[in-house]
Structure 1
Amino acid sequence: MEQWEYKTIKFFTKGFFTGGKLDLNEFDGELNTMGAQGWELISCFDTSQHQGSSKEVICVFKRKK
């Protein structure tokens, strides 16, 4: 039977009044680092702050044990 391990990473957005901007360089860099370590991104979603802006972006990864 295959066994998996999971990892969750949380990215915080910046700019309260500007709608919660995500630093794409930091985001891409972390995703590429995780991929290089054998992690596969299986889910990514944001959490609401106010008026449709995002407070956090949460990414869930998995890899075989």
Structure 2
Amino acid sequence: MEQWSYKTVKYKTGGFLGGKVDEEEFEDLLNSYGYEGWELVSCFDTSVSQGQSRDVIAIFKRKV
């Protein structure tokens, strides 16, 4: 049976009220985990109000 290890990463959004993602920085973050063997499983934001996001949560997995 395959076994997996999981990692949860919180990416803080920018801007006065949040909600702004530096796409290049976020892509670099995702790629850095990919180079370490982590596979992105899910990605979602945490809503504050009126479409603003406080954080982006990325969940990764890799074989143990």
* TM superposition score normalised by structure 2: 0.91
**Structure 1: gaps of 5 or more residues:** none
Secondary structure in structure 1 of the residue aligned to 2:6: strand
Aligned residues: percent identity? 61
Alignment pair present for 1:4 and 2:11? no
* TM superposition score normalised by structure 1: 0.90
2: CA distance between counterparts of 1:16 and 1:49? 12
1: CA distance between counterparts of 2:55 and 2:16? 12
**Structure 2: gaps of 5 or more residues:** none
Please state how far the C-alpha of 1:20 moved relative to its aligned partner. 1.5
Which aligned pairs between 1:24-63 and structure 2 lie closer than 5 A?
24-63=23-62
Which runs of at least 4 in structure 1 moved beyond 2 Å after TM superposition?
A: none
> Cα RMSD between the aligned structures?
1.1
Q: Provide Cα deviations, 1:5-61, integer angstroms capped at 9, x if missing partner.
A: 0001001111134x5201112111011111111100000000101111111000000
> How many pairs were matched up?
64
